[in-house]
Structure formats: structure tokens, C-alpha cells
Structure 1
Amino acid sequence: MKTVIFFDGVCNLCNGIVQWLIERDHHDSLRFAPLQSDLGQRVLDDTGTPDLDSIIVIRDKQRYVKSDAVLIIAEELDRPYQRLSLLKWLPKQVLDVGYDFIANNRKRIFGERESCMMPTPDLKRKFLDVK
């Protein structure tokens, strides 16, 4: 079963992180979908998430948002990045404050695109609901 990462497809930071994750997904365990896609919109509706300021991860039929999602992604990576999942021992409120700060400022700092990225043909298999 693959771990699916729903991300803001027009956010430069989010797209950069997706590219970074693809390069480090040595076990081919990650799949991606922009929140702006039809599938992403259904996930937003199902989770009751009102906007695009949170990454959403689905693994083993469980949904994770904000810092919980980041920690799940870290578990999927090899060392040394996998060690980031050890942050789960910190209080969720503390982790989410850091997450929210980045989420609320990401477009101002890193900018945004006019449309979602289109994966290259060799990467298309890693993206869901991309036409």
C-alpha cells in the first residue's frame, strides 16, 4: 500500500518538497496528488479541511494533517531523514505551531505558480489524478 501525499499544487515550497521527496523515495512508497485536483478536492471535502494550508497524508486508510502528516512522511524515508519522525515525542501543539507558521507564510516567502506542476512522463506514475 502506498502513502499518498496531497499538497498545494501551486505553492513553490510544496512543489520543491515534492521534488525532494521523489528523489529520496528509494522504496517507491510515496504517491502524490495536488489538493487542487478532483481527487484532492474530494479529500478536502471528506476531511472537512477548509483550505489548502495543510498537507494531507493518507496511509493505511488513516488521514494525517499538519505536523502529523510530516512525521508520517519522515517514517517513509531512509536515514537520516527518517529520524525526523522522532519529533513525534514533542507535544503536537508545539509541532503544529511551527507547521502553521511555515504554512501561513510559505507563499509570501517562496511564491506560487499560476498552475499546478505537470510531472514528466517518467514521474507521472507517482502522481494520482493527473491528466
Structure 2
Amino acid sequence: MIEEGKKIILFDGVCNLCNDSINFVIKRDKNDVFRYASLQSEIGKKLITERNINISKIDSILLIDPSVAYYYKSTAALHIAKQLSGIYPLFSVFFIFPRFFRDWIYDIIAKNRYKWFGKKEACMIPTPELKALFIDQKN
């Protein structure tokens, strides 16, 4: 079900900002590092439960690195950026700021994401050419 060596990004499947962010990552994931699933999917819930993550307290994107652990909020976003092509790995300079500060900014955006960017009625359905990247879309 989950390809060996792939990192998994769990995201809010009904959030427009989150969906746009995933599309952004897909276009810049030139080394094919990531696979994706919505937090609301069965596989997303299973991965969360297996790791005893209390999603109600995190309200965040999750990056699961099977060889290490998992990351959330700003730490997940920065670890994702490090893997992308282009200038995005340079964003890892923001690791110099304490996590509480980075997460404070992240939380402001997360708290307002539906108000600012909107919300879908259902999780996104990837196009046929992208379906293989989404572990919650596989049979």
C-alpha cells in the first residue's frame, strides 16, 4: 500500500489552501519523494491512529517519514520544502527560529484557512495522471 522510501503528506482534503499546497508540492517534487492522502481518508485515519496522533490538537499538515517519525505544522512544511526543486530548500533557513514562533504563525494561517481560502464540500479527487501519487486512491 505505501511504497518503501516514500514520505507521506497528510493534508486537510476539504481545505482549498491545503489542496493548492499539495498541487504546488506535486509540481516541484522532481525526485518523487512524496505520496499524499487526506486526513479524512481511511488510510489517513489509520496512519494517524498508528502513531497515536491527536489530530484535534494539531490541526495541521502532517509529514510522515517512515524511517524517522512524523512532523507537523511549520516543521512539516519546512521539511517538505527541503525536498522540492528550485529555491524552496532555502526556506530551511527558517529552522533558525524557535518552533513555538514558527508554529504561532502557522497556527494563525491554519485557524483562518477556511475563512481566507474557502472550503470544499468533499475531498479533492486527483486527476487520472496524478492518482498513483495518492495512497488513499489506490485499491
Aligned to 1:107: 114
1:32/1:122 Cα in 2 relative to 1: closer, same or farther (>3 Å)?
Answer: same
Is contact 1:8–1:52 with CA below 8 Å preserved after alignment? no
Identical-pair percentage:
43
Is contact 1:44–1:50 with CA below 8 Å preserved after alignment? no
Counterpart pick for 1:57 among 63, 71, 77: 63
- TM-score, normalised to structure 2's length? 0.88
Q: Aligned-pair RMSD on alpha carbons? A: 1.4
- In the alignment, the residues of structure 1 paired with residue 124 and residue 90 of structure 2 have an alpha-carbon distance, to the nearest angstrom, of 29
CA-to-aligned-CA distance 1:88-108 (integer Å, 9 cap, x gap): 111101000000000000000
Tell me whether 1:19 sits opposite 2:19 in the alignment.
Answer: no
Tell me whether 1:47 sits opposite 2:53 in the alignment.
Answer: yes
- In the alignment, the residues of structure 1 paired with residue 29 and residue 87 of structure 2 have an alpha-carbon distance, to the nearest angstrom, of 13
Tell me whether 1:37 sits opposite 2:41 in the alignment.
Answer: yes
- Secondary structure at 1:129 match in 2: helix
CA-to-aligned-CA distance 1:56-115 (integer Å, 9 cap, x gap): 101124110111111110111123011111211111010000000000000001000000
